[in-house]
Structures are given as C-alpha cells and as structure tokens.
Amino acid sequence: MISMTWIYIMLLMLAGSFILQMVPLLIYFPAVLIVNILIFIIAFILIRRDPYVEKRGNILFMAGLTVINILTDLGILSYLMSWAAFAALVVWSMFGGGRGH
C-alpha cells in the first residue's frame, strides 16, 4: 500500500500558504508563526499515525522545513538562501539524517 501521508502534508502546506496570502500585514507576523506551527503539529500527527513512514527522520525533516518556511516568510532568510537551506535539508535527509544508526 502506498502511503499518502506526504501528499496530505503537501496539500496542508499549500493551504497554509494560501491562508498566509490572505492575511493582512497588520497580523502577518503572528499569522506566520501560528499557521506554520499548526502545519507542523498536524504533519506530526499524520506522520505518527502512519505505520509505513519512518517517524524520527520525517519529523525532523518536517521540523527543518517548518523553520525554513518561518524564516523565509518573515523575510529573515532570502528566497535564494531558502532554496539553499532546503537543498541542504534534502541532502541531509538523503544521507541518513535523523535516522538512528
């Protein structure tokens, strides 16, 4: 059986991005934090409930992705640097990051 967990997480992230596009600038900072942390919490729950997904590595990957998203949305991390950070996160994950030895 194919796990649909990451598809659900990607749809959740797209919905979160849409929500952030609709938020007025007056409350943008707290909205970025709330939306991204909610996405992480829901993704955490989805990952924990899926028996086919390796838990620790995927949760750490999602945590790194959440930090990158927050920093980019707040303008602390530039667009180019966010892609570099994402690439580093993917490479880290591919080389066994987060998995116990």
pLDDT at position 100 is 62
pLDDT at position 52 is 87
3-state secondary structure of 4: coil
Residue 2 per-residue DSSP state: -
Its pTM stands at 0.88
Question: Would you give the end-to-end CA distance of the chain in angstroms?
Answer: 26
Q: What is the mean pLDDT of each run of 10 residues along the chain (101 residues)?
A: 86 95 93 97 95 90 95 94 95 80 55
**Cα angle vertex 59, ends 85, 11, to 5°?**
80
Q: Where are the domains of the chain?
A: 5-94
Separation between Cα atoms, residue 68 and residue 25, nearest integer Å? 20
Residue 25 per-residue DSSP state: G
Separation between Cα atoms, residue 94 and residue 8, nearest integer Å? 21
